[in-house]
Amino acid sequence: MTGSVSGQNGWPAPEPLKGTIPNNPIAQTLDPALIRRASDKKLFLYTTGKNGSVWTADSLYGPWKHEGTARLREYGGAPSLHQVGDTYYLYINNHEFDYAKQGVTDPDIHQWFHNSSILAASSKTLEVGSWTQHGWLDIHWAKKYNILDAALLTIDDGAGAGKRQNLLSFGSYQQGIFQIPLADPPVKIAADANADITQLANNKTTAFPTGPTEASYIFRWQEWYYMFFSSGRCCKQPNGGGWVDRGDVYKVMVCRSKQPRGGYVDDKGVDCATNSGGKEILGTHDDIWAPGGQGVLVDDEAGGPIIYYHYVPYDVQTKTPADEFRFGWNKLDFSSGWPRVV
């Protein structure tokens, strides 16, 4: 089964799903995190919603079952799921941490757009209620980044437990995407990690000249590290506002590097950290509005890597985005050296 190819730039529709499509029935975003459990091949999809909404399935094509909330934190969002060894790790955004207690005096620490932190949890099963909370990752607050939208890259190369390289990318708006080393196991930052934070990407647009870059996900394929990220506005404008122009809503971008910690460029060689580089691989088309919040999974059922994401259904007759977010996925083709959504 393959999504039908149509629309702008040949971007396909999401793969067809049986039954209910995992969704957030309010205009709050979805931010999917997808993983398949090793023991029985069951799929788990954690999403943003009140306290995190969880879906499960045996097949990528569904049917998907809604399991309820994740029982994590009241204001947890943008979950990210990863397996390291025999343990699953989850990172979520949180807006409860009081940076003033650390001596930070900048007034932005009291603003929703710049007061986020990242919480870590671990589980052996992925089941709702099975997570052990490890608390807040001690990433120092800074004017240049927002501490949210975490994604883990683990470089093992046979090093084994306690010696793996765990790198956490994070960031939203401000100056874009950054990366910090984590310990092994990856439930706290590595020693002296706050002095070893690197900038990876900042993609600017006309509507957002400082860079609406967030939701990074780094994926190693053959000799390259591919950094996927979302550029543009994910949602309606705050305080009851509407959508920005279709060219400035979420779109999926990619850059690549031979090194995981920096040097990412797009297909034209433009630096993604300093010169607003980024190759667009999926954007608004046909009845799909503002796709983003993406991740990548290599899955046997799909026969290789897939990209999963959320999108807003779009009424092409009335030219109106719906007030909900849905889950979608497609296969990725790396045959050219750059990922293509198929």
Annotation marks residue 248 as catalytic: no
Annotation marks residue 267 as catalytic: no
Secondary structure letter of residue 59 according to DSSP: S
Burial of 35 per CB tally in 10 Å (0-12, 13-18, 19+): buried
Q: Which residues pair with 297 in a beta bridge?
A: 306
Nearest to 186 by CA among 93, 91, 46: 91
Instruction: Report the distance separating Cα 211 and Cα 203, nearest Å.
Output: 5
Q: Which of 184, 214, 266, 299 is catalytic?
A: 214
Cα–Cα distance list, 79 to 119, 120, 169 (Å): 10, 10, 13
Mention every residue, 6+ apart, whose C-beta is less than 8 A from residue 319: none
Q: Which of 31, 149, 184, 266 is catalytic?
A: 31
Place of tokens 């031979």: 258
Instruction: Report the distance separating Cα 1 and Cα 66, nearest Å.
Output: 24
Catalytic residues: 31, 214
